[in-house]
Structure 1
Amino acid sequence: MLKKLTFEDLCSNCDPSLLEFETTDQLEPISDIIGQQRAVRAMEFGLKITKKGYNIFISGPTGTGKTTYARLAVSKAAKEKSVPEDIVYVFNFAKPEKPAALFLRAGMGYELTKDMEKLVNEVKREIHRVFDDESFEVQRQEIVEKYQKKSAEIFEKLDEQAKAEGFIIQRSPQGFITVPLKEGKPMSQEEFDSLSEEERKEIEEKGRGLQPKLDEALRRARMVDKEAREELMKLERKVALDAVNPLFEEVISKYAEFEGVVNYLKEVKDDMIKNLAALKQVTRDKTEEINEFTAIFTQGIPKEEFLTRYRVNLFVDNRNTKGAPVIIETNPTYYNLFGKIEGKASFGTVVTDFTMIKSGAVHRARGGYLIIQAEDLFKDPFAWDTLKRTLKNGEARIENIGEQYRVIPTVSLKPQPIPVDVKVILIGPSLYYYLLNEYDEDFKKLFKIRVDFDVEMEKTKENLKNYAAFICHICKNDRLLHFDREAVAKVIDYSSRLAEDKTKLSTRFNDIVELLYEASTWAEIEGSDLVKKQHVIKAIEEKAYRSNRVEEKLLKMIEKGEIIVEVSGQKVGQVNGLSVLDVGDYTFGQPSRITATTYLGDAGVVNIEREVKLSGKIHEKAVLILSGFLGEKYAKDMPLALSASITFEQNYGGVEGDSATCAELIALLSSISGIPVRQDIAITGSLDQHGNVQPVGGVTHKIEGFYHACKIKGLTGTQGVVIPSKNIDNLMLKEEVLEAVKEGKFHIFCAETIDDVIEIMTEMKAEEFHQKVKEALKNLAEKAKEFFDGE
């Protein structure tokens, strides 16, 4: 049944008297999410369940407060959990290429770092002190003298044996040699050459006889020298151990509860004693070249870098963490998530060590929560797959991109993997969730909790109260002027308009917060101490004005006749349809001329937009529904000998949707019957094959769009719009349109069937109109029969 809507049907403004306060300053602020009970229940459960695979995906439109709520909910849950361990990387003395990870109670990692720095400095001082001490030099000298005496005895005995044979042992650059004696003195070369050949041979023969004794003496001397060096080394190690043991015992006792740390400290002490020569070198005041032994021990490492092996790399520091960590990674690249191994330039190449291992967000979130925006995550080609692998395996590896793709393996650091127990919260559009759920098998296993945000909530008394408390929270938190209750009521009306439903409120809180900011600013500009209704209206109007340039240009083109829209009179085969244009931050309605032509033939209904590829799939379906309606209504007892074409005139950007189905059908039936239809009434509404009018979207914007077109060409008092009856709850019209309706200058009708639309558009009874259409179709069928029979 056709119904003309009253002023009360077109809007449901919030009554300020329902708000039990004068200003928001009198309210208790609320920071929790409101109107998202389904999402809240899912989030609470997802945060409580600790089983593997129960990570969370928060889906929903932009601006609904997903990220803000995620931070609040996760932070609240994190407070109830314990602080996870610190992680440090240390030098692996057994396998230097595989740095070892140690785990300590929160705060102890930082302490170990500082304790190791202090320990190394104290060891250096003690080593320097004990080896410069006079008592050590006395013990050293005793050992040296003892073995020098042994060595001297060996050579004295050798000298005696040589003299008995008529020789003396002399040291030369080439080593020890035997020199013959003459009258107790070494024989010169000239004297040797002056001897007869027999004498020279005899001397040479005796010299060769002494060579084994000389070799044996040298061997024994080397053994003595080796024993001397070993005893000196034992002395040095004993002195060093006596010096450093108390230092190490103090640190070991502090970390006695951490077995890994205790073992590491013991390895450090053993390594220091093993590399005592290198350690002594770095304690010297003068910068000397590393001696032969030090070069061997340090493998050519400059002495200022030798002590790096005793440093501690504080990989994850939780000393200031309260509860479980909550990491919000705003730039989730591969390296930011999973860490990296840095390098530095040295002599034309890049070198690295375990102190250059840097943690990622996954490591810092260990034992807690990691929040990531899905859209940012998927921009990195390596991040998503690595995140899935980390969650599946329960451990995070630190390796630079490309290591696994090298054709030739290279020597590089392979840090010990870190076991991770982290709950990941991904935030993104619903489309991402559907695509991942459909095409990524791992996603289903790893993200079993969906927190789905809605764009609207019921307009109940409780929610109105919560909305006001939310406004209070924003005012106090962001230092805005407080709102009086009329201003709050206007914000609530704006929220219902955003929701496109007068029975609901929008949960797109980002848009609401923007309105609060701007209304407060306009109040400040006017010097008011409160935000009032006029300031909210001003903010809404100014926000629209900043973005409605395209709408104004189109209205100017309608006014000039460049875009042809007729808003008075009657026409055959022409109807004003309504569409919605979205230009990013602004949405508005626009009238469009829909025309239809019919002629003899059997092509059926031709969608001109489809033929030129300007029609979307939904619009193509809508046109095919027209054919279904025509067949069901008029062709049960005769064939349709009809060719017809339908188009949106002056449309150059494409058509999508089915909201013009009613208008297209009226234009088509008008063309078939020759009965003119009103141009001062625009139509919006979908249609099924049985002629029932179905609801459409954007009905408020469509009505306002036609109103503006009528206003710019001149209001006649008869103009209006027909909408589906099921769209009445979606009406939240502007004050200007409401006043025009109230004054009888503009009219809104609702229809349930196409017959209702026919009656207002043709001012005829529907049965009469259908009879005219059927007669016209019958006439076309008879002409077609005559034509084909004649042929």
Structure 2
Amino acid sequence: MDIKDFVVPLAELRHTCDPAEFPFATTEELKPREEVIGQARAVSAIEFGLSIRNHGYNIFVSGIPGTGRNTIVKSIVKRISLDRPVPEDWCYINNFKDLDRPLAVKLAPGSGRELQRDMEKFIELMLSEIPKVFESKEYEEQKTGIQEELERAKEVLFEDTGRRTKEMGFQLTVTRTGIVKVPLFKGKPLQAEDLEKLSAEQRLEMDDREKKVDTEIRDFLSKARQLDKEARERIHELNRKVAHFAMGHQLDDLKEKYGANPRIPDYLAEVEEDILGNLKEFLGQTPELPFHIEGMDRASFLERYRVNVLVDNSKTKGGPVVEEANPTYNNLVGRIERKMRLGVAFTNFTMIKSGSVLQANGGYLIMNALDVLRSPFAWDALKRIIKKNEVKIEDIGELYGIATAGIKPEPIPISLKIIMLGSPWLYYLLYYYDEEFRSIFKVKSDFDTQMDGSREEKARYANFIGAMAAEEKLLPFSREAVAEVIDYAARLAEKKGKLSLRFSDLSDLVREASFWAGREGKRTVETGHVDKALDEKVYRANLLEERIQELLTDGTIMVDTTGAVTGQVNGLSVYDLGDFSFGKPSRITSRVYIGKAGVVDIEREAKLSGRIYNKGVLILSHYLGGTYAQDKALSLSASLAFEQSYSDIEGDSASAAELMALLSAVAGVPVRQDLAITGSFNQKGEVQPIGGVNEKVEGFFAVCKAKGLTGSQGVVIPKSNVKNLMLKKEVVRAVKDGKFQIYAITTVDEAVTILTGMQAGERQADGSFSEGTFNVLVDKRLKDIAKKLKADEKTDKDKDEKKEKKDENNDVPKKEPEKP
């Protein structure tokens, strides 16, 4: 194999969009049209979920932020909502039979606010009309007539009673303190001296008559009270009749207007009855307090006749579309507000406020799933609403058995579609751990992150850029600039023939390119402005990368870019800072010595490695055994380390580099330091693809450039990653000029050839490797180590046996001499 066979062709390093594909000079020539780009599957799912009316077919929109989920969902929902009928208004009215349980009323769209205004006008009118009729001459004459009749009847009754008491010897006189009885003697009031002249028998007889008089007086008072009661009832009935007359025409009009509603006629009848029972409030006859107390004045009393409009669809077109940005329990369900009265909280039906579920009733509610789950009680409340198809506005404490004094509004039935947006991991988390979730969110809409980069899709991209420029009043883009934006979309997609659907990042690039073009006083955005926007975006975020590059350049972080060293390889890793990612080369070293410890990974021993990294090291160990220990036991002690690495390491993309360092140390063959390698491999020695290939190549290129390009430097990548290459123009130019190379491999043996310059060597029929190859050296060294270990073991065994014999001889008892 020749090293040139592994060079990646220049055309494969960066896949560019040809501006000639676009039939326009600038995006100004395009006619903006509303269309969804690259999300046919997601759109189909959304439209299905919005169209099916069965219970539980709510929609979970799954996808990473930045793919246009919000915009697309709102666009589709608003379009479909226009074909839906406008839903009814909902109001709460006073329940005069039970003030703690307000009644919910459904009215035609716009009628809720109309009923509210009609009731306010009615009450205002009654506050002026009722006093007028009570001040009328007719009313005064009728009331005076009743009162005069009462006085005459009481006079007749008193005269009749007085006549009878006079016959009993007592005269009745009415004073300010009541009725006074005066005994008579010979037809005249009895004097004190006359009382002394009476005999005892006369006194007893007078006492008996006085008792009879008391009975007459009590009978008179009882009859007088009955007359007063009858007069009051007549006046009360007169008042009702007069007040009814004042309300009659107005109430009849309201009953006729809202008569089709099953609840309003009964409600109006109760309003009339309540007004008749509280005429003093309308006549201003209630005493005024010396100072204002909330809830105890006439205005607070009159609130009982108000209509609380919870949902007003008077201006709604089609089904309502509500986007809840803060889906707390109260914002979703609604709340019951309270006011303070003398230090005590009080409430009534006018303080009930609707939540977004009621506002979206009959339409669509859009919200973020993670926001719902973060809000206490919100998720359980939402599930309960969906399952019961009703909203019950109540205090949170009521849900958990904490009794609170307050009102209990009547539940309101609901019918709406709920669209929740969230990440894929959140969808699966809810699906597996919340059994109710799968029965109430039966439709999943999966947003993709990339699409095919066909000519048609590129044309849609161009239309998107043109529409955005027109909508946000940005500068028009030349077709070359459009092609440059599409190239950036291809880099984000990280796959040949694909374009990214991360429209938030692409939109930012369009805005920023327009900004830089405007700053230069240009009328059109050109390629250079797009490049400028990308460079400036990197500059704002790559402070850490620059500091690391400085450390690599001045030798603080030791990485060689020339020469060859045994047991030392340049590996590549990616630093992901969230808004910016960059590659960094790392020195990986290996030491091999006689022993049976096997491959010891220092990162793992220091607990600085993750599970995937550890898996790669284990595969490495077993690859060694499977390749070189078919005719002998694999006996060695070896160490692997990421030098100058003091933070956690995860991933297996450095396993190929680690294997090269280890094999180099075993064979004693130096590895080229002007090359870096990235890739994982399996137990069969096949090199597997890795992530971040562009950042890794560019990271090593930056170090080589800073230290001086020699023309021999380059990066070895898995061949399966060639389709992911979308390198910066600077790197492509260096390759074109012969200053840098990219090699692609499929097996470990190919990596050996490139990094050492030796052929790896294939195993022969007799089990040995081809002479003069790299694998022969590895195999020989492993055999030497095995022989040395075996020899050492035999020596140790011989020593142990000699020691055991010596110990046995020392244990034999000596024969004592015989005594004479």
8 Å Cα contact 1:127-1:280 kept in structure 2: no
- Tell me which of 325, 334, 338 is aligned to 1:339: 334
Instruction: Report matched runs for 1:593-604 at 5 Å.
Output: 593-604=587-598
Question: What amino acid is the match of 1:393?
Answer: K
Partner of 1:441: 435
Secondary structure (helix, strand or coil) at the match of 2:589 reads strand
Greater shift in the superposed pair: 312-321 or 261-270: 261-270
Are 2:407 and 1:402 equivalent residues in the alignment? no
Q: How does 1:370-769 map to 2 (within 5 A)?
A: 370-405=365-400, 407=402, 409-767=403-761, 768-769=773-774
Q: Provide the C-alpha distance between the structure 2 equivalents of 1:15 and 1:188, rounded to a whole number of angstroms.
A: 136
* Larger mean Cα displacement after TM superposition, 488-497 or 138-147: 138-147
| Change beyond 3 A, Cα 1:519–1:27 | same
- 1:698 positional shift: 0.5
Write the distance in 2 (CA, Å) between the matches of 1:383 and 1:77: 27
What is the DSSP-based 3-state SS (H/G/I as helix, E as strand, rest coil) of the residue aligned with 2:396? coil
Residue identity opposite 2:588 in structure 1: I
Deviation for aligned residue 1:123: 2.2
2:248 is equivalent to residue 245 of structure 1 = yes
Aligned-pair CA distance for 1:178: 2.5
Task: Supply the distance in 2 between the matched residues of 1:98 and 1:637 (Cα, whole angstroms).
Answer: 89
Whole-angstrom CA distance in 1 between matches of 2:97 and 2:252: 22
Equivalence for 2:359: 364
Q: Kindly indicate whether the alpha-carbon contact (under 8 Å) linking 1:577 and 1:660 is maintained by their aligned counterparts in 2.
A: yes
What is the aligned partner in structure 1 of residue 777 from structure 2?
A: 772
Instruction: Show CA shifts across 1:720-769 (max 9, x none).
Output: 00001111110111111011000000000000111110000110011111
From 9, 12, 19, the counterpart of 1:9: 12
Deviation at 1:125, TM superposition (A): 2.3
Q: Compare 155-164 and 264-273 and name the one that shifted more.
A: 264-273
Rounded Cα–Cα distance in structure 2 between residues aligned with 1:214 and 1:95? 45
Q: Per the alignment, in what secondary structure is the counterpart of residue 402 of structure 1? A: helix
Superimposed CA distance per residue, residues 279-334 of structure 1 (whole angstroms, 9 cap, x where no aligned partner): 343333x87459xxxxxxxxx95433221111100110010100000000111111
Check whether the contact 2:88–2:109 (CA below 8 A) recurs between aligned residues. Answer: yes
Tell me how far 1:272 sits from its aligned partner.
1.8
Q: Number of aligned pairs?
A: 777
CA 1:171 to 1:648, structure 2 compared with 1: closer, same or farther past 3 Å?
farther
Deviations 1:338-388 (A, max 9, x none): 110001111111111100000000000001000001122122111011001
CA deviation profile, 1:151-181 (whole Å, cap 9, x unmatched): 2222111111111111122446764343212
CA contact (8 A) 2:602 2:639 kept: yes
Tell me the secondary structure at the aligned position of residue 39 of structure 1.
helix
Displacement after TM superposition at 1:19 (Å): 1.2
- Matched residue type, 1:364: Q
Cα 1:189–1:514 shift into 2, 3 Å: farther
Unaligned runs of 5+ in 2: 290-294, 762-772, 797-820
How far apart, CA to CA, are the structure 2 residues paired with 1:738 and 1:193? 144
Distance 2:336 2:191 in 1: 70
Is contact 1:573–1:667 with CA below 8 Å preserved after alignment?
A: yes
What is aligned with 2:140? 137
Contact 1:33 1:65 in 2 (8 A): no
Paired residue type of 2:248: N
Q: Separation in 2 of the partners of 1:679 and 1:194?
A: 151
The equivalent of 2:149 in structure 1 is 146
- C-alpha separation in 1, matches of 2:607 and 2:397: 46
Are 1:308 and 2:303 an aligned pair?
A: yes
Counterpart selection for 1:45 from 38, 43, 48 = 48
Q: Which of residues 328, 349, 368 in structure 2 aligns to 1:354?
A: 349
Which amino acid in structure 2 is aligned with residue 311 of structure 1? R
Q: Which amino acid aligns with 1:282?
A: F
Structure 2 CA distance for aligned equivalents of residues 192 and 453 of structure 1: 115
Encode CA deviations 1:758-786: one digit per residue, 9 max, x unaligned: 00011001111111111111111111111
CA contact 1:123–1:247 (8 Å) conserved in 2: no
2: CA distance between counterparts of 1:647 and 1:411? 69
Structure 1 residue 691: Cα displacement: 0.3
Q: Which residue number corresponds to residue 297 of structure 1?
A: none
Deviation digits for residues 226-245 of structure 1 (CA, Å, limit 9, x no counterpart): 11111111121122222211
Is contact 1:32-1:69 (8 Å) kept?
no
Check if 1:125 corresponds to 2:128.
yes
Does the CA contact (< 8 Å) of 2:574 and 2:696 recur in 1?
yes
The Cα offsets for residues 118-168 of structure 1, whole Å up to 9 and x where unpaired, read as: 111222222112111100111111112222222222211111111111112
Structure 1 CA distance, aligned partners of 2:759 and 2:477?
A: 53
User: Secondary structure at the residue paired with 2:742?
Assistant: strand
1:717–1:194 distance in 2 versus 1, CA, 3 Å: farther
1:189 is displaced (CA, Å) by 6.2
Residue pair 2:62, 2:424 contacting (<8 A) in 1 also: yes
Query: Aligned AA for 2:142?
Result: Q
- 1:188-207 aligned at under 5 Å gives the runs 192=195, 198-207=201-210
Q: CA deviation at 1:187?
A: 3.9
Distance 1:732 1:714, change over 3 A: same
Amino acid at match of 1:668: L
User: How far apart, in 2, do the equivalents of 1:529 and 1:546 lie?
Assistant: 26
Aligned residue for 1:52, secondary structure, equals coil
Partners of 1:103 and 1:193 in 2: how far apart?
Answer: 86
Structure 2: distance between partners of 1:176 and 1:124: 42
Q: How does 1:55-204 map to 2 (within 5 A)?
A: 55-171=58-174, 175-182=178-185, 184-187=187-190, 192=195, 198-204=201-207
CA distance in 2, matches of 1:603, 1:62: 48
CA displacement at 1:194 relative to structure 2:
7.5
Mapped partners of 1:488, 1:162: distance in 2: 119
Q: For residue 282 of structure 2, what is the aligned residue in structure 1?
A: 282
Residue aligned with 1:88, SS: strand
- The whole-number CA distance in structure 2 between the counterparts of 1:534 and 1:196 is 139
SS in 2 for 1:650: coil
Asked whether the 8 Å contact 1:165–1:206 carries over to 2, the reply is yes
8 Å CA contact retained: 1:128, 1:280: no
Q: Is residue 373–residue 428 contact of structure 1 (8 Å, CA) maintained in 2?
A: yes
SS for the counterpart of 1:441 is coil
Distance in 1, Cα, partners of 2:178 & 2:206: 20
CA RMSD of aligned residues (A): 1.7
1:28 Cα deviation after fit = 2.0
Percent identical pairs in the alignment equals 47
Deviates more, 1:410-419 or 1:543-552: 410-419
Query: SS of 1:432's equivalent?
Result: helix
Give the TM-score normalised by the residue count of structure 1.
Answer: 0.96
- In the alignment, the residues of structure 2 paired with residue 751 and residue 189 of structure 1 have an alpha-carbon distance, to the nearest angstrom, of 143
- State the secondary structure of the residue aligned to 2:376: coil
Greater Cα offset, 741-750 or 368-377? 368-377
Q: Does 1:784 align with 2:785?
A: no
Return the alpha-carbon distance in structure 1 between the equivalents of residues 139 and 119 of structure 2: 27
**2:408 alignment partner, SS class:** coil
Contact 2:126-2:282 within 8 A present in 1 as well: no
